[in-house]
Amino acid sequence: MEQYREVLMLLRTAGLKSTAPRRALLAALMRAARPLSIANVLKELGRASVDTVTAYRALRAFEKAGLVRRVDLGHRHAHYELVGAQGDRHHVVCLSCGTTEPFEGCDAAHLVKEALAQVRGFRTVTGHSLALYGLCNTCAVVNK
Amino acid sequence: MEQYREVLMLLRTAGLKSTAPRRALLAALMRAARPLSIANVLKELGRASVDTVTAYRALRAFEKAGLVRRVDLGHRHAHYELVGAQGDRHHVVCLSCGTTEPFEGCDAAHLVKEALAQVRGFRTVTGHSLALYGLCNTCAVVNK
DNA sequence: GTGAATGCAAAAACTTTGCATACGC
DNA sequence: GCGTATGCAAAGTTTTTGCATTCAC
């Protein structure tokens, strides 16, 4: 149990209770290092089975605490990924097979400035989401 | 019926059959000039009632034909907006009341270039989605 | 001990599928 | 007339809610 301390630390720092399901969920996200759907998180747990409802509630709590980030990949369900040391992280999504790959640097500050100059009803922007869609190299070949 | 000709033209150009439900759906999106959820589209129809299933199928067909665009506003259901003459259009979304306001110009070309330089598994990017989240001026006041 | 987290059951919300009928081209 | 679009019913997914029990602090 090497991850144990790391995961526990994360929860402590975020001011969240450390429970077995939460530790398992966080550990799974940590191992994955890419956005996982709730269903996938549960699948990645292995022996430590966690109720679906608990996963929904825990991930929402994590999100509110800033531990994880909800990313929208254009599928019709949420994906979550750990918020790491890295800055803004976004994804390229394959429209054919769903594969994703992360990239960084979207110049959010500039984007927000630009947007706020155009809209009248907003002055506060606290977050953003971005995804690029295309074909991964494998699917690009298959689809000729 | 002034919109009739305009809507019909859109459908013709897209190579889609012109039917009453489709014309009504398109007209609603046109009047709204902002992203609508399926439920909202149906509500906006007025007397011309359309079955939910038909709306789903029609909007998907419109999307494939490039007439409308699916936008992700972080709610847990899809929103659609008409693809107009304008270029890339994105939205600022209020996290409190859900109000949205559009803005343009996200320098997609630059973004894509940046991303492709970082990922190994992709060479083709065909689209993207972007949303900014914050508090609209009204909610910013209420939330003190 | 106390309040929050969990799990189960059930429901709500959103979306898709199958099939017979109606309608645009 | 042919083939697609529609509407209804039904089912499939994803997410939320209620409540009694368990557990972290």
Q: What is the 3-state secondary structure (H, E, C) of A32-91?
A: HCCCEEHHHHHHHCCCCCCCHHHHHHHHHHHHHHCCEEEECCCCCCCEEEECCCCCCEEE
Q: A64 CA, D19 C1': separation in Å? A: 25
- Nucleic strand C under 7 Å from the C-beta of B37: yes
Say how many residues make up chain A: 144
- How does DSSP assign B36-64, residue by residue? EEHHHHHHTTTTS---HHHHHHHHHHHHH
Distance CA A33, CA A68 (A): 11
Q: A37 CA, C12 C1': separation in Å? A: 21
The answer to whether A133 contacts B129, with C-beta atoms less than 8 Å apart, is: yes
- Nucleic strand C under 7 Å from the C-beta of B77: yes
Contact B29, B80 (CB under 8 A): yes
Beta-carbon contacts of A119 under 8 Å, excluding residues fewer than 6 positions away, are B92, B101, B102, B103
Nearest to A140 among B95, B112, B124 (CB): B124
- Nucleic strand C under 7 Å from the C-beta of A76: yes
- Going residue by residue through chain B, which has 144 residues, state the pLDDT in tens, using 9 for 90 and above: 567 888 999 999 999 999 999 999 999 999 988 899 999 999 998 778 899 999 999 999 999 999 999 998 988 899 999 997 677 889 999 888 888 999 998 989 999 999 999 999 999 998 899 999 988 998 887 654
Residues of A in contact with B124 (CB under 8 A): 134-135, 140
B14 token code pair:
């897209």
With distances taken from each CA to the C1' atom of nucleotide C7, the closest residue turns out to be A51
Q: How does pLDDT run across A23-58, given as a tens digit for each residue? A: 999 999 999 888 999 999 999 987 778 999 999 999
**What is the residue-averaged pLDDT of chain A?**
90
- Nucleic strand C under 7 Å from the C-beta of A47: no
Give the distance from residue B99's alpha carbon to the nearest chain A alpha carbon, in angstroms: 9
